[in-house]
Amino acid sequence: MDRKSDRDLVERVREQIDIVELISDYILLTPKGRYYVGLCPFHQEKTPSFTVTPDKQIFYCFGCGVGGDIFSFVMKKEGVGFAEALNKLAVRANIPLDNGKAYFREKSEKSELKSKIYRLNTIAARFFYACLTRTEEGKQALEYLYKRGIKKEIIKKFGLGFAPDSWNALGNYLLSKGYDQELIEQAGLIIARKDGNGYFDRFRNRLIYPILDIQGRVCGFGGRTLQNKQPKYLNSPETIVFNKSKILYGLNFAKDEIKRQGTIVLVEGYMDVLSAHQAGCKIAVASLGTALTSEHCRMLASLASNVVLVYDGDSAGGRAALKGIEALKNYDLTIKVCPLPKDTDPDDYIRKYGGEEFLKLIEKAVPFYDFQIENILKINNINILEEKLKAIKLIIPILLGIDNINQRDEYIKKVAQLLKISEENLRLQLKQVGINNKHSLLVKGVKFANNRHTNIKKPSQEVLDAPYKMMTAPVKAQRSLIKLMINNSIYLDYIQSQLSTEHFTHHIYREIFDQFLYLKQQDEEIDLTRMLNRLSEEAKEVFAQLLTEGKDGLELEEKALPDYIECLQEHKYQSQIEKVQRAIEECEKEGRKDEVLQLLVCLQNLKRNSNISSNR
């Protein structure tokens, strides 16, 4: 069956099924303006933040960020793949099922490829392990591990390895085992040379951490340089089996103990996980150098009810922890934080004070609310009236954010004491702010757009703003530009004339922009629902959020359009400049003078262009 009839089936199912009717089978929806709202079926909540927008046939939850179309809903709710969701919905729509078969064929081909890559990765992991433990070359890496206090048992358990300093040691080994080049490349282990002349190994002269998924299959690798080369850590690229936003390092070893204890300890890096496990903290896991995603959080919430974040006590570490908390707060988890002394990561701490002290420290982790309140009181001296008022203003949204009434009551008592004000006074203030916020059920998603220019700062907005504050300016610009394109295709024409795909550096916004360009080539009119269907699940969520926001805050975004474009142009020049500067350094080191001269000319041009764009 050809692709076209597959698409027809999807379209027919979509036409037949109304999303409000479908979701009403699962939860109670009540109309509210242009949405329907209800209690989210994907996270626990007491006030509804789950929305369904009938005219766009999408759903989106402002609480946990889940969103998409009818297919995404069934996939997420029933835990099935696209093919099965399509079949279920086809049955519901009384459409004959024969057409669905093509998806199953595709699916089985896909799962065959997956298991081939898992097998290949396992062979590669064994190769790296042998290089570490049994070769002369591997000794430096082994020494490094011993020096950092990692013992043999842990090296074996986690299957650590070493990638030799060679362009094709692994590639040739795998070829000799009968694997074909294409598969090795698909696994991300070798990279095609730009000149088309063969391949080279991705990991060279690096300590290797095999990355296992929760079922214990080798899905990718992390490599740490042993000679201060950049980047310090190099991961496998995203492959059919490796998706960083779904993997937590160490979880395969930790999951049973996590379930038993009901607690997860989140640390930052590979080495932290190894040290923690060696020290007896067998519930430690780490994300792979990325912020926690909603997938991570869902995984954590399904295994445990308590999360302890352990992080470096300097301010960057604190910010990283807060980032993690923002994502975790939407789930039914008790969050505690455990700051370490400044400039100390868990690995340092364990080496310095030993495993027992580390375990004691984790025992003493403080609840997240206490941590937040303590921080506010650290900055504001409550003996000075102005600062005291400011502290109250900042603490109120935290108290309002506590869903559990008994718990909130406890905190009100505590805070009143700390601030030296009466409980009644505090309760009164809470009530006032609470009433003002009642109408802002949907405010979370439109926050960035509204707040940017008007500077209205209700206390609770600071809390709600947090995810947007974490965005860098170029990412904010990309989000806003996509929002403009969604609302009027005129913007698409203009933006396309000014920017190219490369300007969209965030993978999700780039994917959406690509789809806009693709559909524009195909049709005169862009059909947003058709577009939604072509996006990855990750991009669908973002797209659904933007669609749900609709025209809220659009006027302000329009005014800022030239700024956004300039921001992205400048951002691209800056990253090109950095790239050329790095190349110059490298050529200088290797004494390639001619190339240095060429690159310097190139650099001058870039800098000139960059100035033109920023002075415009």
DSSP assignments along 349-384, one per residue = HHHHH-HHHHHHHHHTPEEHHHHHHHHHHHHS-TTS
Closer residue to Zn ion, CB minimum distance, 10 or 64: 64
Closer residue to Zn ion, CB minimum distance, 63 or 445: 63
Specify the residue for token string 């709202």: 37
- Identify which range of 60-68, 107-115, 264-272, 430-438 contacts Zn ion by CB under 5 A: 60-68
Closer residue to Zn ion, CB minimum distance, 77 or 607: 77
Give per-residue burial for 538-553: e unless 16+ CB within 10 Å, then b: bbbbbbbbbbbbbebb
Query: Does residue number 328 form part of the binding site for Zn ion (CB under 5 A)?
Result: no
Q: Which of 43, 76, 336, 444 binds Zn ion (CB under 5 A)?
A: 43
- Identify which range of 63-71, 118-126, 243-251, 470-478 contacts Zn ion by CB under 5 A: 63-71
Query: Does residue number 203 form part of the binding site for Zn ion (CB under 5 A)?
Result: no
Q: Residue 301: how many CB atoms within 10 A of its CB?
A: 19
Please tell me the distance from the alpha carbon of residue 103 to that of residue 536, in angstroms, as a whole number: 16
Please tell me the distance from the alpha carbon of residue 306 to that of residue 367, in angstroms, as a whole number: 10
- Identify which range of 38-46, 354-362, 372-380, 529-537 contacts Zn ion by CB under 5 A: 38-46
Query: CA dist 509 to 58, 237, 486, 567, Å?
Result: 19, 19, 12, 15
Local structure of residue 244 (DSSP, 8 states): G
Residue 443: what residue type? V
Closest Cα to residue 214, out of 162, 274, 258, 262? 258
Beta bridge partners of 196: none
Strand order across the 58-61 sheet: 30-32, 35-38, 50-53, 58-61, 67-68
# chain residues binding Zn ion, by CB under 5 A:
6
Closer residue to Zn ion, CB minimum distance, 40 or 90: 40
Q: Which of 17, 52, 64, 377 binds Zn ion (CB under 5 A)?
A: 64
- Angle 264-268-274 (CA atoms, 0-180°, nearest 5)? 75
- Identify which range of 32-40, 342-350, 509-517, 580-588 contacts Zn ion by CB under 5 A: 32-40
- Per-residue x/- marks for Zn ion, 436-465, CB under 5 A? ------------------------------
Spatial contact of 174 and 120, defined as CB atoms under 8 Å apart:
yes
| Least distance from Zn ion to the Cβ atom of residue 536, Å | 20
| Least distance from Zn ion to the Cβ atom of residue 39, Å | 9
Please tell me the distance from the alpha carbon of residue 583 to that of residue 84, in angstroms, as a whole number: 49
| Least distance from Zn ion to the Cβ atom of residue 298, Å | 10
Tokens of 280: 């007896």
Query: Does residue number 179 form part of the binding site for Zn ion (CB under 5 A)?
Result: no
Please tell me the distance from the alpha carbon of residue 543 to that of residue 64, in angstroms, as a whole number: 15
Beta bridge partners of 466: none
Spatial contact of 141 and 162, defined as CB atoms under 8 Å apart:
yes
Closest Cα to residue 446, out of 407, 480, 400, 485? 480
Closer residue to Zn ion, CB minimum distance, 40 or 89: 40
Closer residue to Zn ion, CB minimum distance, 61 or 124: 61
H/E segment holding residue 124:
helix 101-134
SS3 45: coil
Closer residue to Zn ion, CB minimum distance, 42 or 270: 42
Query: Does residue number 301 form part of the binding site for Zn ion (CB under 5 A)?
Result: no
**Scanning residues 512 to 571, which ones bind Zn ion (CB under 5 A)?**
none
Closer residue to Zn ion, CB minimum distance, 40 or 234: 40
Q: Which of 10, 17, 19, 42 binds Zn ion (CB under 5 A)?
A: 42
Query: Does residue number 481 form part of the binding site for Zn ion (CB under 5 A)?
Result: no
| Least distance from Zn ion to the Cβ atom of residue 363, Å | 32
Closer residue to Zn ion, CB minimum distance, 239 or 294: 294
- Identify which range of 31-39, 54-62, 92-100, 400-408 contacts Zn ion by CB under 5 A: 54-62
Sign of CA pseudo-dihedral 458, 462, 467, 468: positive
Query: Does residue number 40 form part of the binding site for Zn ion (CB under 5 A)?
Result: yes
| Least distance from Zn ion to the Cβ atom of residue 501, Å | 32
SS3 53: strand
Tokens of 309: 């974040």
Q: Which of 63, 250, 317, 324 binds Zn ion (CB under 5 A)?
A: 63
Q: Which of 10, 22, 29, 61 binds Zn ion (CB under 5 A)?
A: 61
| Least distance from Zn ion to the Cβ atom of residue 47, Å | 11
| Least distance from Zn ion to the Cβ atom of residue 60, Å | 9
Closer residue to Zn ion, CB minimum distance, 60 or 162: 60
- Identify which range of 41-49, 238-246, 571-579, 599-607 contacts Zn ion by CB under 5 A: 41-49
- Write the CB contacts of 536 (distance below 8 Å, at least 6 apart in sequence): 511
| Least distance from Zn ion to the Cβ atom of residue 330, Å | 7
The alpha carbon of residue 602 and the mean position of all alpha carbons in its chain are separated, in whole angstroms, by 35
Query: Does residue number 303 form part of the binding site for Zn ion (CB under 5 A)?
Result: no
- Report the chain's terminal Cα–Cα distance, integer Å: 54
**Scanning residues 368 to 397, which ones bind Zn ion (CB under 5 A)?**
none
Residues that bind Zn ion (CB under 5 A): 40, 42-43, 61, 63-64
